[in-house]
């Protein structure tokens, strides 16, 4: 029997709620949940993520070296089967998404 993963909640800062909605709903296929003027929740493949508007500064100010890249802090990701990962990476590239680090394995 494999262990069942329990859903998590993660809040993170963003500069633009409309752009964030577009990215998570239109590109990643997440459903939008509750929202208010300065935040919005998304169903991130069974987990709840919450984008909170941050007015000043860069929400990604720090980074750490990982696998030869300077990986931004904070960050989070989704673990997918290879075919779904490749399809999503292609979709994001085809949409003109600006990457801090392009998808890689």
44-58 pLDDT, tens digit each: 999 999 999 988 766
Asked whether the beta carbons of 23 and 96 are under 8 A apart, the reply is: no
Residue 64: half-sphere exposure toward Cβ, Cα within 13 Å: 4
The pTM for the full model equals: 0.76
CA trace torsion 20, 80, 85, 18 (10° rounding): -10
pLDDT score at 97:
94
Asked whether the beta carbons of 40 and 21 are under 8 A apart, the reply is: yes
| Mean of all residue pLDDT scores within the chain | 88
**Residue given tokens 């493949």 in the structure block:** 45
């Amino acid at each position: 029997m494999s262990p069942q993963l329990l859903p998590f909640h993660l809040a993170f800062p963003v500069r633009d709620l409309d752009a964030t909605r577009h990215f998570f709903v239109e590109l990643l296929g997440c459903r939008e949940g509750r929202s208010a003027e300065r935040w919005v929740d998304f169903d991130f493949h069974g987990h709840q993520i919450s984008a909170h508007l941050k007015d000043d500064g860069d929400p990604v100010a720090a980074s750490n070296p990982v696998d030869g890249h300077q990986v931004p802090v904070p960050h989070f990701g989704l673990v997918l089967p290879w075919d779904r990962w490749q399809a999503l990476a292609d979709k994001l590239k085809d949409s003109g998404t600006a990457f801090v680090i392009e998808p890689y394995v």
